[in-house]
Amino acid sequence: MWFPLTFRVRYQETDRMAVVYHTNYINWFEWARTELIRACGYPYRLVEEQGLLLPVLEVGAQFKQPAVYDELVTVYTSVTACSSARLEFAYEVRRGEPEHSELQHSEPQGKELERPESEV
């Protein structure tokens, strides 16, 4: 199941070419993960108050095409592994709004961000 978080790319997240600076995607992942946990009924603050911490141990991203200033994007988040000691998440960033703004997504909706042929 995928959880969608939709928003507009803000000016402060872009470089001089109006392209989202790469480190901002990691911030978006954090935001989306926090909202997924909140949607499940556990605000992250409550999770930490119960003594549970979710440190980021590994981050990776494959960039196909940049998001740009004022573009509507949706970050999809899914829990891919869960144990008593670890949670793993997957993320996808896509252009546009999801077809349904519910937690019950079976797969991301919207146009995939693709790299132009000249950058392959």
Give me the CATH number covering residue 87. Answer: 3.10.129.10
User: Pairing between strand 72-82 and 87-95?
Assistant: antiparallel
The pLDDT of residue 106 is 47
Q: 């949706």: which residue's tokens? A: 74
Burial group, residue 6, by CB count within 10 angstroms (0-12, 13-18, 19+): middle
Domain count, the chain: 1
Q: If you search the block for the tokens 């470089």, which residue do you land on?
A: 15
Which residue range(s) make up the domain with 84? 3-119
SS3 state at 91: strand
Tell me the pLDDT tens digit for each residue of 94-113.
988 886 544 344 455 444 44
Q: Active-site residue numbers?
A: 15
- Kind plus residue range of the DSSP H or E element containing 111: strand 111-112
Which tens digits make up the pLDDT trace of 36-91? 999 999 999 999 999 999 999 999 999 999 999 999 999 999 999 999 888 999 99
Query: Is 9's pLDDT higher than 70?
Result: yes
